[in-house]
């Protein structure tokens, strides 16, 4: 089981697969996807011209500035905020928080300017990698004490939780909802 | 008859245990050929407020079945899968959702899902995706469940099942239900509610275990059909070995979606019935829910889209607490898992070990015989009826018992099946035992049937011997026969002497017979049997007596 130390999980997984490819021999995808050649793309280096040959990092910027005005300005209603707070247990706290949310939505709406007709949506940056299948062996478990150390309250090796989901109080009764900032 | 049942069910607002029997037997009796409409109306006596509708109601039942995959380790982590273990001892850091842990997919679980998909005639998706389904509950430490919502492993299959219809339940019909999809997903932990101290105790041993969710289209219309379909699926899963599917241990969980409507109109509002933990309760729960919805609609009310639990003690469904309306699960692609790619013989790249990839054709070649195929083979091999083979496969271990007996006895399998299904099964059910717990082994039964076949004992004597064998005192059938002196009298002379004695001692009866009243012969036969203490072959006795009397 892989435990990662540090925040960049993706590069760790990439790194392992990269190392596997370079060492040759027992890599899974030696012949698995004959169409794609896996290049050592991490080092950008001299990648002018054909990115397929010399690496995946473009030398010149390829993005364009998108005009903000033609995009629809969406306002977030109080019902939607209540629904989001209930679902995800985020606390928007005050109107500044809501404005930040609206700006974030606007930023993401730039994607609508791109024409995606006939393009398959991408599910994962690892879409051309094989999902590693591990053997059905027992390799973990029996760490009850360590796990229970994290719990505030335990009863005879069980975790203790309240009797059910404690629902958020209704909109009218909540006093922290959308406080006016000082 | 139907009207009185309806009146009773409508006028009794609270559910009582006695009503459940009436509710359950009502629809099946009224329906001549299923799935027919449930006739309502034509009620005598006063009707409650509401329209007097004569239009028939049709129930629509769809099932979602979660089967726990039979594997050594869990779906995404390497902890063990075991039913009863000290709490929280089979939990890894990933199962407890400690930060920084990642899922690693178990190949055995993928193979189990592909096997099940192939057995249910599904098309297997060569590329399937994993998603996160978010909801908060204490037994789901991560706050989300990894499942396959967008692109599951297998789609568009079918399941054929048989059930007995007709007044005497002797006509077998085959129905099919479409399978919408089969997907892999994680199980949640177990929560034990402690209401006295107002807390819940969480055990994560079950969290992360691989489940196959089989989603069926709503093609069924009664609890009976649903129970038959679930039983068939259980047999298929047990034959494949992908799941042990024991409902009592929670390895097979069924949620039913029930709604009613008039044929031709739009589908009604559906409710979900959960917490059904045996096949018997499944049929009762669904039938109760159908009746409840019909009653509700006929009284002018509406059916709310809610989740209900089945209380098996009361025999009714009650609304579940803790389920808030319609949940928004915020499905999102699982970022830690790339798409799952399966191959077949055509797309298999060269030089790959079959242990690194899952090959659909490799699995298809190794599928064992499904129950439907085994039933046909039994009928062909032994000449028994399809209904018999159905019962044989339905009882756990009964088919092996039957085959063992047939192998060790000279009796015709068609006669053996009668002994197995009528006598042995009757005894087992009476004493509430499984075939494995049977005190009579297949060897002893075979010996007994051999004695019967050779004419050493009569059929009634055989039944006596079986009763003795049931006590399991270790005696063989032959020993019991000798002890109780149950052998048929083989000596023709002795029989003739006894018959002669009886005829001489009962001259009045002989006169009656000679006058033309043949039924009195049975009395004479009875007397002979009493004299010999049941050791005379009745056919032979009748022959001898008739010969005597005609002289």
Q: Tens digit of pLDDT for each residue in B476-514?
A: 777 877 777 777 777 777 777 877 887 787 777 777 777
* Residue B107 with chain A: CB contacts under 8 Å: 133-136
Taking the alpha carbons at both ends of chain B, their separation in whole angstroms is 59
Shared-domain flag, residues B255 and B297: yes
Shared-domain flag, residues B400 and B445: yes
B328 interface with A at CB cutoff 8 Å: yes
* Residue A126 with chain B: CB contacts under 8 Å: 338
Domain coordinates in residue numbering, chain A: 64-114
Shared-domain flag, residues B94 and B28: no
Residue A47 zone, left/alpha/beta (φ > 0; ψ -120 to 50; rest): alpha
Cα–Cα distance measured from residue B359 to residue B346, given in angstroms and rounded to the nearest whole number:
10
Among B59, B83, B104, identify where a domain stops: B59
**Residue B120, helix vs strand vs coil:** coil
Q: Under a CB-based contact definition with an 8 Å cutoff, are residues B68 and B209 in contact? A: yes
Please tell me which residue of chain B has the smallest CA distance to A156. B87
| Residue B331 within any structural domain of the chain | no
Pairwise CB contact (< 8 Å): A2 & B107:
no
Shared-domain flag, residues B174 and B281: yes
Query: In the structure, what pLDDT confidence band is assigned to residue B53 with cuts at 50, 70 and 90?
Result: low
Pairwise CB contact (< 8 Å): B93 & A124:
no
Cα–Cα distance measured from residue B217 to residue A173, given in angstroms and rounded to the nearest whole number:
43
Pairwise CB contact (< 8 Å): A123 & B87:
no
Report pLDDT for B384.
86
In the predicted model, what is the mean pLDDT of residues B97-101? 93
| Residue B503 within any structural domain of the chain | yes
Q: Which of B181-185, B243-247, B492-496 has the lowest mean pLDDT?
A: B492-496
Choose, out of B73, B111, B184, B210, the residue to mutate when testing the contact with A (most A CBs < 10 Å): B73
Shared-domain flag, residues B162 and B288: yes
Closest Cα to residue B41, out of B33, B50, B32? B50
B71, B77, B134 ranked by CB distance to A140: nearest = B77
Shared-domain flag, residues B527 and B417: no
A80 interface with B at CB cutoff 8 Å: no
Shared-domain flag, residues B49 and B140: no
Shared-domain flag, residues B159 and B266: yes
Tell me the residues of chain B between 126 and 145 that have a Cβ less than 8 Å away from chain A.
129, 134, 136-138
Cα–Cα distance measured from residue B318 to residue B435, given in angstroms and rounded to the nearest whole number:
36
Shared-domain flag, residues B220 and B85: yes
Cα–Cα distance measured from residue A157 to residue B202, given in angstroms and rounded to the nearest whole number:
9
Report pLDDT for B311.
84
Q: Under a CB-based contact definition with an 8 Å cutoff, are residues B295 and B10 in contact? A: yes
Choose, out of A141, A152, A155, the residue to mutate when testing the contact with B (most B CBs < 10 Å): A141
Pairwise CB contact (< 8 Å): B78 & A150:
no
Report pLDDT for B547.
79
DSSP B350: T
* Residue B192 with chain A: CB contacts under 8 Å: 158
Please tell me which residue of chain A has the smallest CA distance to B348. A32
| Residue B516 within any structural domain of the chain | yes
A182–chain B nearest CA distance, Å: 33
Domain around B139: 60-326
* Beta bridge partners of residue B311, listed in sequence order: B316
Among B429, B452, B483, identify where a domain stops: B483
A83 interface with B at CB cutoff 8 Å: yes
Alpha-carbon distances of B125 from B118, B155, B438, B519, rounded to whole Å:
11, 7, 45, 73
Closest Cα to residue B405, out of B387, B395, B394, B418? B418
Shared-domain flag, residues B31 and B98: no
| Residue B361 within any structural domain of the chain | no
Calculate ∠ Cα B370-B278-B417, nearest 5°: 50
| Token output for B291 | 């009746």
Q: Which residue has the higher pLDDT, A37 or A176?
A: A176
Instruction: Tell me the H-state helices in B316-370.
Output: 360-365
Q: Under a CB-based contact definition with an 8 Å cutoff, are residues B113 and B345 in contact? A: no
* Residue B335 with chain A: CB contacts under 8 Å: 124
pTM across the whole model: 0.75
CB burial of B240-260 (b: ≥16 within 10 Å; e: otherwise) equals bebbbbebeeebbbbbbbbbb
Q: Is the pLDDT of residue B549 over 80?
A: no
Shared-domain flag, residues B148 and B251: yes
| Residue B343 within any structural domain of the chain | no
B276–chain A nearest CA distance, Å: 21
Pairwise CB contact (< 8 Å): A147 & B88:
yes
Count: domains in chain B: 4
Query: In the structure, what pLDDT confidence band is assigned to residue A74 with cuts at 50, 70 and 90?
Result: low
Query: In the structure, what pLDDT confidence band is assigned to residue A15 with cuts at 50, 70 and 90?
Result: very low
| Residue B159 within any structural domain of the chain | yes
In the predicted model, what is the mean pLDDT of residues B146-154? 94
Q: Under a CB-based contact definition with an 8 Å cutoff, are residues B451 and B478 in contact? A: yes
Shared-domain flag, residues B54 and B68: no
Cα dihedral A22, A24, A30, A35 in deg (nearest 10)? 40
* Residue B241 with chain A: CB contacts under 8 Å: none
Query: In the structure, what pLDDT confidence band is assigned to residue B142 with cuts at 50, 70 and 90?
Result: very high
Please tell me which residue of chain B has the smallest CA distance to A162. B199
* Spacing of C-alpha A38 from chain mean position: 24
A116 interface with B at CB cutoff 8 Å: no
Q: Which residues contact B275 (CB under 8 A, 6 or more apart)?
A: B309, B310, B320
Q: Is the pLDDT of residue B524 over 70?
A: yes
Cα–Cα distance measured from residue A7 to residue B462, given in angstroms and rounded to the nearest whole number:
77
Q: Which of B200-204, B315-319, B524-528 has the highest mean pLDDT?
A: B200-204
Cα–Cα distance measured from residue B413 to residue B391, given in angstroms and rounded to the nearest whole number:
15
Within 10 Å of residue B303's Cβ, how many Cβ atoms? 18
Q: What is the pLDDT of residues B443-481, one digit of tens each?
A: 888 888 888 888 777 777 788 888 888 887 777 777 877
Complex-level ipTM: 0.71
| Residue B334 within any structural domain of the chain | no
Within 10 Å of residue B59's Cβ, how many Cβ atoms? 26
Q: Is the pLDDT of residue A82 over 90?
A: no
Report pLDDT for B43.
40
Burial class (CB in 10 A: 0-12, 13-18, 19+), B67: buried
Q: Under a CB-based contact definition with an 8 Å cutoff, are residues B298 and B40 in contact? A: yes
Alpha-carbon distances of B449 from A42, A117, B418, rounded to whole Å:
79, 76, 11
Alpha-carbon distances of B542 from B99, B456, B519, rounded to whole Å:
88, 18, 12
């Amino acid at each position: 089981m892989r435990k990662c130390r540090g925040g960049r999980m993706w590069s760790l997984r990439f790194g392992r697969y990269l190392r596997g490819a370079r060492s040759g021999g027992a890599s899974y995808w030696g012949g698995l996807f004959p169409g794609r050649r896996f290049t050592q793309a991490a080092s950008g280096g001299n990648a002018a011209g054909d990115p397929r040959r010399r690496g995946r990092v473009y030398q010149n910027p390829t993005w364009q500035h998108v005009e903000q005005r033609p995009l629809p300005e969406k306002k977030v209603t109080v019902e939607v905020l209540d629904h989001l707070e209930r679902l995800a247990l985020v606390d928007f706290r005050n109107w500044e928080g809501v404005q930040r949310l609206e700006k974030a939505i606007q930023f993401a709406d730039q994607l609508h300017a791109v024409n995606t007709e006939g393009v398959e949506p991408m599910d994962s940056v690892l879409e051309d990698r094989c999902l590693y299948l591990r053997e059905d062996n027992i390799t973990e478990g029996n760490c009850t004490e360590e796990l229970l150390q994290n719990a505030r309250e335990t009863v005879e090796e069980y975790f203790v939780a309240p009797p059910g989901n404690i629902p958020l109080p209704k909109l009218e009764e909540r006093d922290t909802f959308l406080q006016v900032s000082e | 008859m139907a009207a009185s049942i309806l009146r009773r069910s409508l006028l009794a607002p609270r559910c009582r245990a006695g009503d459940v029997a009436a509710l359950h037997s009502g629809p099946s009796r009224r329906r001549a050929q299923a799935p027919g409409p449930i006739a309502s109306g034509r009620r005598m006596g006063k009707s409650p407020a509401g329209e007097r509708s004569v239009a028939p109601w049709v129930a629509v039942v769809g099932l979602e079945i979660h089967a726990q995959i039979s594997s050594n380790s869990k779906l995404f982590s390497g902890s063990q899968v075991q039913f009863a273990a000290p709490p929280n001892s089979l939990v890894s850091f990933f199962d407890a959702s400690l930060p920084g842990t990642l899922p690693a997919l178990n190949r055995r679980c993928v193979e189990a899902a592909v096997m099940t998909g192939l057995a249910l005639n599904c098309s297997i998706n060569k590329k399937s995706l994993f998603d996160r389904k978010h909801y908060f509950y204490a037994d789901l430490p991560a706050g989300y469940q990894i499942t396959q919502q967008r692109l599951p492993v297998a789609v568009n299959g079918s399941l054929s099942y048989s059930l007995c219809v007709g007044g005497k339940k002797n006509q077998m019909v085959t129905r099919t239900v479409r399978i919408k999809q089969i997907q892999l997903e994680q199980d949640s932990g177990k929560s034990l509610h402690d209401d006295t101290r107002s807390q819940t105790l969480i055990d994560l041993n079950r969290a992360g275990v691989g489940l196959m969710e089989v989603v069926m289209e709503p093609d069924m219309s009664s609890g009976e059909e649903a129970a038959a379909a679930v039983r068939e699926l259980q047999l298929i899963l047990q034959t494949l070995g992908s799941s042990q599917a024991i409902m009592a241990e929670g390895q097979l969980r069924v949620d039913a979606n029930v709604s009613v409507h008039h044929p031709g109109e739009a589908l009604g509002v559906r409710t979900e019935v959960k917490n059904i933990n045996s096949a018997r309760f499944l049929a009762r729960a669904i039938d109760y829910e159908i009746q409840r919805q019909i009653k509700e609609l006929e009284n002018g009310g509406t059916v709310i889209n809610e989740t209900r639990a089945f209380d098996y003690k009361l025999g009714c469904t009650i609304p579940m607490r803790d389920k808030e309306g319609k949940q928004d699960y915020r499905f999102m692609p699982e970022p830690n898992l790339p798409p799952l790619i399966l191959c077949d013989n055509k797309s298999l790249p060269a030089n790959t070990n079959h242990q690194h990839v899952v090959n659909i054709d490799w699995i298809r070649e190794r599928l064992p015989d499904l129950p439907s195929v085994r039933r046909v083979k039994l009928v062909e091999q032994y000449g028994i009826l399809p209904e018999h083979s159905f019962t044989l496969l339905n009882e756990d271990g009964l088919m092996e018992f039957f085959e063992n007996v047939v192998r060790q006895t000279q009796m015709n399998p068609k006669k053996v099946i009668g002994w197995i299904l009528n006598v042995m099964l009757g005894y087992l059910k009476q004493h509430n035992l499984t075939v494995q717990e049977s005190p009579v082994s297949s060897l002893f039964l075979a010996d007994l049937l051999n004695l019967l076949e050779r004419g050493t004992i009569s059929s009634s004597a055989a039944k006596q011997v079986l009763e003795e064998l049931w006590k399991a005192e270790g005696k063989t059938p032959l020993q019991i026969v000798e002890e109780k002196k149950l052998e048929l009298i083989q000596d023709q002379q002795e029989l003739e002497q006894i018959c002669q004695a009886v005829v001489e001692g009962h001259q009045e009866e002989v006169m009656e017979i000679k006058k033309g009243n043949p039924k009195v012969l049975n009395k004479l036969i009875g007397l002979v049997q009493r004299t010999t203490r049941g050791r005379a072959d009745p056919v032979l006795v009748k022959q001898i007596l008739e010969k005597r009397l005609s002289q």
